[in-house]
Amino acid sequence: MLKENTEILYKGTEDREGSLHPETPAIYPSSAYIIKDTRDYDFANNGGKYFYNRTANPNRDGLAEAISYLENGESTLVCSSGMGAISTTLLGLLKCGDHAVFNKSIYGETIELIEILRGFGVHVSLVDFTNIKEFENAMKESTKIVYTEIIANPLTLVVDIEKISKIAHSFGATVVVDSTFTTPFVIKPLDFGADIVIHSLTKFFGGHSDVTGGSITASNEIIKKLKQSYLLLGASLDANSAWLLQRSIKTMGLRMRAQLDNAVLVAEALSKNPHIQCVYHPSLENHPQHALASQIFSYGFGAMISFSVENNREKVDEFIRRLKVIKYLGTLGGIRTTLAHPATAFRNEFTEEELTKMGIHEGLIRISTGAEDVGDLIEDLNQALEVFNKAQ
Protein backbone atom coordinates (compact mmCIF):
# COMPACT_ATOMS: atom_id res chain seq x y z
CA MET A 1 0.00 0.00 0.00
CA LEU A 2 1.32 3.44 -0.96
CA LYS A 3 2.13 5.95 1.76
CA GLU A 4 0.01 9.10 2.15
CA ASN A 5 2.70 11.42 0.74
CA THR A 6 2.77 9.30 -2.43
CA GLU A 7 -0.97 8.61 -2.73
CA ILE A 8 -1.98 12.28 -2.49
CA LEU A 9 0.06 13.04 -5.64
CA TYR A 10 -2.28 10.82 -7.69
CA LYS A 11 -5.68 11.03 -6.02
CA GLY A 12 -8.35 12.79 -8.12
CA THR A 13 -6.18 13.12 -11.22
CA GLU A 14 -7.86 10.51 -13.45
CA ASP A 15 -10.29 11.59 -16.20
CA ARG A 16 -13.84 11.69 -14.83
CA GLU A 17 -16.51 9.63 -16.54
CA GLY A 18 -18.99 11.89 -18.36
CA SER A 19 -16.54 14.82 -18.58
CA LEU A 20 -15.34 14.31 -22.13
CA HIS A 21 -17.96 16.45 -23.94
CA PRO A 22 -18.38 19.76 -22.09
CA GLU A 23 -20.15 22.64 -23.87
CA THR A 24 -17.07 24.78 -23.25
CA PRO A 25 -13.70 23.23 -24.17
CA ALA A 26 -11.47 22.27 -21.26
CA ILE A 27 -8.19 24.08 -20.54
CA TYR A 28 -5.07 21.94 -20.78
CA PRO A 29 -2.32 23.67 -18.74
CA SER A 30 -0.25 20.50 -18.29
CA SER A 31 3.36 21.03 -19.35
CA ALA A 32 3.69 17.34 -20.31
CA TYR A 33 1.67 14.18 -20.98
CA ILE A 34 2.33 10.65 -19.73
CA ILE A 35 4.21 8.41 -22.17
CA LYS A 36 3.74 4.61 -22.13
CA ASP A 37 7.19 3.58 -23.40
CA THR A 38 9.97 4.57 -25.84
CA ARG A 39 7.95 3.63 -28.91
CA ASP A 40 5.05 5.74 -27.66
CA TYR A 41 7.50 8.62 -27.23
CA ASP A 42 8.64 8.23 -30.84
CA PHE A 43 5.00 8.24 -31.93
CA ALA A 44 4.31 11.41 -29.91
CA ASN A 45 7.49 13.16 -31.03
CA ASN A 46 6.48 12.63 -34.67
CA GLY A 47 3.15 14.37 -34.13
CA GLY A 48 1.08 11.35 -33.15
CA LYS A 49 -0.08 12.67 -29.75
CA TYR A 50 0.50 15.35 -27.15
CA PHE A 51 3.59 14.94 -24.99
CA TYR A 52 5.14 18.38 -24.28
CA ASN A 53 3.31 21.70 -24.07
CA ARG A 54 5.73 23.82 -26.12
CA THR A 55 5.51 21.28 -28.95
CA ALA A 56 1.73 20.86 -29.05
CA ASN A 57 -1.30 21.70 -26.92
CA PRO A 58 -5.02 20.92 -27.43
CA ASN A 59 -6.10 24.52 -26.78
CA ARG A 60 -3.63 25.90 -29.32
CA ASP A 61 -4.72 23.30 -31.84
CA GLY A 62 -8.38 24.20 -31.39
CA LEU A 63 -7.62 27.89 -31.83
CA ALA A 64 -5.44 27.16 -34.87
CA GLU A 65 -8.27 25.21 -36.49
CA ALA A 66 -10.66 28.15 -36.04
CA ILE A 67 -8.19 30.70 -37.45
CA SER A 68 -7.36 28.48 -40.45
CA TYR A 69 -11.08 28.23 -41.16
CA LEU A 70 -11.59 32.01 -41.03
CA GLU A 71 -8.59 32.66 -43.29
CA ASN A 72 -9.23 29.80 -45.76
CA GLY A 73 -5.77 28.50 -44.87
CA GLU A 74 -4.50 24.95 -44.52
CA SER A 75 -2.64 25.29 -41.23
CA THR A 76 -1.91 27.81 -38.46
CA LEU A 77 0.80 28.30 -35.84
CA VAL A 78 -0.47 30.05 -32.71
CA CYS A 79 2.17 32.30 -31.15
CA SER A 80 2.72 34.08 -27.86
CA SER A 81 2.33 37.53 -29.46
CA GLY A 82 1.98 39.28 -32.79
CA MET A 83 5.69 40.06 -32.79
CA GLY A 84 6.32 36.39 -32.02
CA ALA A 85 4.43 35.52 -35.21
CA ILE A 86 6.29 38.13 -37.26
CA SER A 87 9.71 37.13 -35.88
CA THR A 88 9.05 33.42 -36.38
CA THR A 89 8.06 34.02 -40.01
CA LEU A 90 10.93 36.32 -41.01
CA LEU A 91 13.68 34.52 -39.09
CA GLY A 92 12.36 31.19 -40.32
CA LEU A 93 12.34 32.11 -44.02
CA LEU A 94 15.23 34.57 -44.48
CA LYS A 95 18.97 33.93 -44.37
CA CYS A 96 22.16 35.91 -44.93
CA GLY A 97 22.31 37.25 -48.50
CA ASP A 98 18.55 37.13 -49.11
CA HIS A 99 16.63 40.23 -50.18
CA ALA A 100 13.25 41.27 -48.77
CA VAL A 101 10.91 44.06 -49.85
CA PHE A 102 8.83 45.68 -47.10
CA ASN A 103 6.05 48.21 -47.33
CA LYS A 104 7.42 51.37 -45.73
CA SER A 105 4.04 51.96 -44.03
CA ILE A 106 3.95 49.14 -41.48
CA TYR A 107 3.92 48.60 -37.73
CA GLY A 108 6.84 50.44 -36.08
CA GLU A 109 8.20 47.42 -34.22
CA THR A 110 8.31 45.45 -37.48
CA ILE A 111 10.56 48.22 -38.81
CA GLU A 112 12.74 47.79 -35.71
CA LEU A 113 12.95 44.04 -36.43
CA ILE A 114 14.18 44.89 -39.94
CA GLU A 115 17.32 46.36 -38.37
CA ILE A 116 17.99 43.01 -36.68
CA LEU A 117 17.54 41.26 -40.03
CA ARG A 118 20.04 43.65 -41.62
CA GLY A 119 22.48 42.74 -38.85
CA PHE A 120 22.13 39.11 -39.95
CA GLY A 121 23.08 40.03 -43.52
CA VAL A 122 19.57 40.24 -45.00
CA HIS A 123 19.19 42.99 -47.62
CA VAL A 124 16.01 45.03 -47.17
CA SER A 125 14.19 47.57 -49.34
CA LEU A 126 11.43 49.77 -47.86
CA VAL A 127 9.09 51.12 -50.55
CA ASP A 128 5.61 52.52 -51.09
CA PHE A 129 3.37 49.56 -51.94
CA THR A 130 0.59 51.84 -53.18
CA ASN A 131 2.97 52.77 -56.00
CA ILE A 132 3.04 49.57 -58.03
CA LYS A 133 5.88 50.79 -60.29
CA GLU A 134 8.07 51.64 -57.30
CA PHE A 135 7.35 48.23 -55.79
CA GLU A 136 8.13 46.39 -59.03
CA ASN A 137 11.42 48.28 -59.45
CA ALA A 138 12.48 47.19 -55.95
CA MET A 139 12.12 43.48 -56.75
CA LYS A 140 15.25 41.42 -57.47
CA GLU A 141 16.10 37.85 -58.38
CA SER A 142 17.31 37.43 -54.79
CA THR A 143 14.01 38.67 -53.30
CA LYS A 144 12.63 35.95 -51.03
CA ILE A 145 10.00 37.83 -48.99
CA VAL A 146 7.49 40.56 -49.80
CA TYR A 147 5.92 41.93 -46.60
CA THR A 148 3.00 44.31 -46.19
CA GLU A 149 -0.14 45.23 -44.31
CA ILE A 150 -3.31 45.74 -46.35
CA ILE A 151 -4.55 48.76 -44.42
CA ALA A 152 -1.21 50.39 -43.75
CA ASN A 153 -0.44 51.89 -40.35
CA PRO A 154 -0.99 54.75 -39.51
CA LEU A 155 -2.54 56.57 -42.50
CA THR A 156 -4.86 53.70 -43.58
CA LEU A 157 -3.43 53.50 -47.11
CA VAL A 158 -4.82 50.41 -48.86
CA VAL A 159 -2.56 47.98 -50.73
CA ASP A 160 -3.70 46.16 -53.87
CA ILE A 161 -2.63 42.78 -52.52
CA GLU A 162 -3.66 40.89 -55.65
CA LYS A 163 -1.36 42.95 -57.90
CA ILE A 164 1.46 42.85 -55.34
CA SER A 165 1.17 39.06 -55.07
CA LYS A 166 1.26 38.51 -58.83
CA ILE A 167 4.42 40.58 -59.21
CA ALA A 168 6.07 38.96 -56.18
CA HIS A 169 5.31 35.46 -57.44
CA SER A 170 6.79 36.26 -60.83
CA PHE A 171 10.11 36.70 -58.97
CA GLY A 172 9.54 33.56 -56.90
CA ALA A 173 9.03 35.53 -53.67
CA THR A 174 6.75 34.60 -50.77
CA VAL A 175 4.08 37.19 -49.87
CA VAL A 176 3.54 37.84 -46.17
CA VAL A 177 0.58 39.94 -45.00
CA ASP A 178 0.07 41.33 -41.52
CA SER A 179 -3.73 41.51 -41.55
CA THR A 180 -4.19 42.68 -37.96
CA PHE A 181 -5.95 45.91 -39.00
CA THR A 182 -8.30 44.18 -41.43
CA THR A 183 -9.15 40.75 -39.93
CA PRO A 184 -10.69 37.97 -42.06
CA PHE A 185 -14.08 39.67 -41.73
CA VAL A 186 -12.83 42.49 -43.99
CA ILE A 187 -10.52 40.54 -46.32
CA LYS A 188 -8.96 37.08 -46.53
CA PRO A 189 -5.49 37.77 -48.00
CA LEU A 190 -4.82 34.16 -49.03
CA ASP A 191 -7.78 34.42 -51.42
CA PHE A 192 -6.00 37.33 -53.12
CA GLY A 193 -2.69 35.56 -53.67
CA ALA A 194 -0.84 36.06 -50.39
CA ASP A 195 1.11 33.05 -49.09
CA ILE A 196 1.17 33.82 -45.37
CA VAL A 197 -1.21 35.85 -43.22
CA ILE A 198 -0.19 37.05 -39.77
CA HIS A 199 -2.31 38.45 -36.95
CA SER A 200 -1.69 40.04 -33.62
CA LEU A 201 -4.47 38.09 -31.89
CA THR A 202 -4.14 40.57 -29.03
CA LYS A 203 -6.20 43.02 -31.06
CA PHE A 204 -9.52 42.25 -32.80
CA PHE A 205 -9.40 38.48 -32.33
CA GLY A 206 -9.12 38.85 -28.55
CA GLY A 207 -11.35 41.90 -28.59
CA HIS A 208 -11.41 42.49 -24.82
CA SER A 209 -7.85 43.72 -24.08
CA ASP A 210 -7.26 40.75 -21.77
CA VAL A 211 -5.05 38.38 -23.77
CA THR A 212 -1.84 38.50 -25.84
CA GLY A 213 -1.21 36.26 -28.85
CA GLY A 214 -0.31 35.99 -32.52
CA SER A 215 -0.86 33.64 -35.47
CA ILE A 216 0.69 32.52 -38.75
CA THR A 217 -1.62 30.95 -41.35
CA ALA A 218 -0.40 29.41 -44.59
CA SER A 219 -0.17 26.17 -46.57
CA ASN A 220 0.88 22.97 -44.84
CA GLU A 221 4.20 23.15 -46.69
CA ILE A 222 5.06 26.65 -45.44
CA ILE A 223 3.96 25.91 -41.88
CA LYS A 224 6.19 22.81 -41.90
CA LYS A 225 9.15 25.04 -42.89
CA LEU A 226 8.38 27.45 -40.04
CA LYS A 227 7.78 24.83 -37.34
CA GLN A 228 11.43 24.57 -36.28
CA SER A 229 11.94 28.32 -35.82
CA TYR A 230 8.56 28.49 -34.06
CA LEU A 231 9.60 25.87 -31.50
CA LEU A 232 13.21 26.98 -31.05
CA LEU A 233 12.31 30.66 -30.65
CA GLY A 234 9.89 29.70 -27.88
CA ALA A 235 6.96 31.38 -29.61
CA SER A 236 4.25 28.94 -28.43
CA LEU A 237 1.15 30.44 -26.79
CA ASP A 238 0.09 29.21 -23.34
CA ALA A 239 -3.07 27.14 -22.90
CA ASN A 240 -5.05 29.71 -20.91
CA SER A 241 -4.52 32.45 -23.50
CA ALA A 242 -5.40 30.05 -26.33
CA TRP A 243 -8.63 29.16 -24.49
CA LEU A 244 -9.52 32.85 -24.04
CA LEU A 245 -8.90 33.54 -27.72
CA GLN A 246 -10.99 30.59 -28.85
CA ARG A 247 -13.79 31.91 -26.64
CA SER A 248 -13.45 35.40 -28.16
CA ILE A 249 -13.57 34.13 -31.75
CA LYS A 250 -17.14 32.94 -31.13
CA THR A 251 -18.32 36.57 -30.89
CA MET A 252 -15.80 38.08 -33.29
CA GLY A 253 -18.20 38.34 -36.22
CA LEU A 254 -20.77 40.16 -34.10
CA ARG A 255 -18.15 42.49 -32.65
CA MET A 256 -16.48 43.24 -35.95
CA ARG A 257 -19.69 44.14 -37.75
CA ALA A 258 -20.60 46.61 -35.00
CA GLN A 259 -17.08 48.10 -34.93
CA LEU A 260 -16.83 48.34 -38.72
CA ASP A 261 -20.24 50.01 -39.01
CA ASN A 262 -19.33 52.49 -36.26
CA ALA A 263 -16.02 53.34 -37.94
CA VAL A 264 -17.78 54.47 -41.13
CA LEU A 265 -20.09 56.78 -39.17
CA VAL A 266 -17.33 58.15 -36.92
CA ALA A 267 -15.10 58.87 -39.93
CA GLU A 268 -17.95 60.70 -41.65
CA ALA A 269 -18.65 62.78 -38.53
CA LEU A 270 -14.99 63.67 -38.05
CA SER A 271 -14.72 64.78 -41.68
CA LYS A 272 -17.42 67.37 -40.96
CA ASN A 273 -15.80 68.76 -37.80
CA PRO A 274 -14.16 72.16 -38.45
CA HIS A 275 -11.23 71.39 -36.13
CA ILE A 276 -10.16 68.36 -38.19
CA GLN A 277 -7.60 68.97 -40.92
CA CYS A 278 -7.79 65.52 -42.51
CA VAL A 279 -9.48 62.16 -41.83
CA TYR A 280 -7.84 58.93 -43.01
CA HIS A 281 -10.34 56.13 -43.51
CA PRO A 282 -10.97 54.09 -46.69
CA SER A 283 -14.75 54.57 -46.42
CA LEU A 284 -14.43 58.24 -47.35
CA GLU A 285 -14.70 59.04 -51.06
CA ASN A 286 -11.68 61.37 -50.88
CA HIS A 287 -9.47 58.55 -49.62
CA PRO A 288 -6.89 57.74 -52.36
CA GLN A 289 -7.78 54.03 -52.36
CA HIS A 290 -11.51 54.26 -51.68
CA ALA A 291 -12.39 52.53 -54.98
CA LEU A 292 -9.85 49.75 -54.38
CA ALA A 293 -11.09 49.19 -50.82
CA SER A 294 -14.69 49.01 -52.04
CA GLN A 295 -13.62 46.36 -54.53
CA ILE A 296 -11.51 44.05 -52.34
CA PHE A 297 -13.10 44.37 -48.88
CA SER A 298 -15.97 41.99 -48.17
CA TYR A 299 -17.45 44.02 -45.29
CA GLY A 300 -16.67 47.51 -44.02
CA PHE A 301 -13.45 49.45 -44.39
CA GLY A 302 -11.59 48.57 -41.22
CA ALA A 303 -12.19 49.81 -37.68
CA MET A 304 -9.06 51.99 -37.56
CA ILE A 305 -9.34 55.73 -38.20
CA SER A 306 -6.58 58.34 -38.16
CA PHE A 307 -7.12 62.09 -38.24
CA SER A 308 -5.03 65.25 -38.10
CA VAL A 309 -5.60 68.27 -35.88
CA GLU A 310 -3.46 71.31 -35.07
CA ASN A 311 0.17 70.23 -34.67
CA ASN A 312 0.27 71.23 -30.99
CA ARG A 313 1.17 68.62 -28.38
CA GLU A 314 -0.28 70.61 -25.45
CA LYS A 315 -3.67 70.91 -27.13
CA VAL A 316 -3.58 67.25 -28.14
CA ASP A 317 -3.00 66.32 -24.50
CA GLU A 318 -5.91 68.50 -23.40
CA PHE A 319 -8.10 66.89 -26.09
CA ILE A 320 -7.20 63.44 -24.72
CA ARG A 321 -7.96 64.50 -21.14
CA ARG A 322 -11.36 65.92 -22.16
CA LEU A 323 -12.57 62.63 -23.63
CA LYS A 324 -15.11 60.92 -21.37
CA VAL A 325 -15.86 57.66 -23.19
CA ILE A 326 -12.80 57.08 -25.36
CA LYS A 327 -9.63 56.11 -23.50
CA TYR A 328 -5.94 56.42 -24.40
CA LEU A 329 -4.57 52.86 -24.55
CA GLY A 330 -1.35 51.24 -25.76
CA THR A 331 -3.19 48.70 -27.89
CA LEU A 332 -6.14 48.50 -30.29
CA GLY A 333 -8.94 46.26 -31.52
CA GLY A 334 -10.93 46.03 -28.29
CA ILE A 335 -14.70 46.18 -28.05
CA ARG A 336 -14.34 49.61 -26.42
CA THR A 337 -13.14 52.57 -28.47
CA THR A 338 -9.57 53.61 -27.73
CA LEU A 339 -7.15 56.26 -28.89
CA ALA A 340 -3.42 56.28 -29.64
CA HIS A 341 -0.90 59.02 -30.38
CA PRO A 342 1.57 57.54 -32.90
CA ALA A 343 4.24 60.23 -32.38
CA THR A 344 4.43 59.41 -28.69
CA ALA A 345 4.27 55.65 -29.27
CA PHE A 346 7.47 55.74 -31.34
CA ARG A 347 9.20 58.87 -30.02
CA ASN A 348 11.99 56.82 -28.45
CA GLU A 349 12.50 54.50 -31.41
CA PHE A 350 12.64 56.99 -34.30
CA THR A 351 13.95 60.51 -34.88
CA GLU A 352 11.54 63.36 -35.65
CA GLU A 353 12.72 63.29 -39.27
CA GLU A 354 12.05 59.55 -39.51
CA LEU A 355 8.58 59.98 -38.00
CA THR A 356 7.79 62.76 -40.47
CA LYS A 357 8.75 60.48 -43.38
CA MET A 358 6.30 57.92 -41.94
CA GLY A 359 3.55 60.58 -41.94
CA ILE A 360 3.57 60.85 -38.14
CA HIS A 361 3.39 64.24 -36.41
CA GLU A 362 2.11 65.67 -33.10
CA GLY A 363 -1.33 66.40 -34.55
CA LEU A 364 -1.93 62.85 -35.81
CA ILE A 365 -4.38 60.82 -33.68
CA ARG A 366 -5.49 57.24 -34.27
CA ILE A 367 -8.75 55.70 -33.12
CA SER A 368 -9.65 52.04 -32.80
CA THR A 369 -13.44 52.08 -33.08
CA GLY A 370 -15.40 49.98 -30.61
CA ALA A 371 -18.99 48.79 -30.37
CA GLU A 372 -20.50 51.56 -28.23
CA ASP A 373 -23.56 53.52 -29.35
CA VAL A 374 -22.06 55.52 -32.19
CA GLY A 375 -23.85 58.70 -31.12
CA ASP A 376 -21.99 58.63 -27.81
CA LEU A 377 -18.67 58.32 -29.61
CA ILE A 378 -19.37 61.21 -31.98
CA GLU A 379 -20.57 63.44 -29.14
CA ASP A 380 -17.49 62.61 -27.07
CA LEU A 381 -15.12 63.46 -29.93
CA ASN A 382 -16.90 66.67 -30.86
CA GLN A 383 -16.93 68.06 -27.32
CA ALA A 384 -13.24 67.23 -26.79
CA LEU A 385 -12.26 68.77 -30.12
CA GLU A 386 -13.52 72.14 -28.89
CA VAL A 387 -10.10 72.53 -27.25
CA PHE A 388 -8.79 73.53 -30.66
CA ASN A 389 -10.96 76.67 -30.51
CA LYS A 390 -8.64 78.08 -27.87
CA ALA A 391 -5.89 80.49 -28.75
CA GLN A 392 -2.53 79.23 -27.52
Residue 266 in this model has a pLDDT that exceeds 80: yes
The predicted-structure confidence for 184-234, as pLDDT tens digits, reads as follows: 999 999 999 999 999 999 999 999 999 999 999 999 999 999 999 999 999
What are the extents of the domains in the chain? 38-249, 252-389
- When pLDDT is cut at 50, 70 and 90, the band that residue 349 belongs to is confident
Can you tell me the mean pLDDT for 59-85? 97
In this predicted structure, what is the pLDDT of residue 392?
52
Contacts 24+ apart (CB under 8 A), 375-382: 376/325, 377/262, 377/266, 377/325, 377/326, 377/337, 378/265, 378/266, 378/269, 380/323, 380/324, 380/325, 380/326, 381/266, 381/269, 381/270, 381/273, 381/323, 381/326, 382/269, 382/273
pTM for this model (two decimals): 0.94
The predicted-structure confidence for 350-375, as pLDDT tens digits, reads as follows: 888 888 877 889 999 999 999 999 99
Average pLDDT over the chain reads: 95
In this predicted structure, what is the pLDDT of residue 1?
85
Fold held by 252-389: Aspartate Aminotransferase, domain 1 (3.90.1150)
Nearest to 140 by CA among 176, 167, 162, 171: 171
Residue 391 in this model has a pLDDT that exceeds 70: no
CATH of 38-249, one of 3.40.50.200, 3.40.50.670, 1.10.1490.10, 3.40.640.10: 3.40.640.10
- When pLDDT is cut at 50, 70 and 90, the band that residue 348 belongs to is confident
Q: Are strands 196-200 and 174-178 parallel, antiparallel or unpaired?
A: parallel
The predicted-structure confidence for 283-342, as pLDDT tens digits, reads as follows: 999 999 999 999 999 999 999 999 999 999 999 999 999 999 999 999 999 999 999 999
Q: Tell me, what amino acid is at 55?
A: T
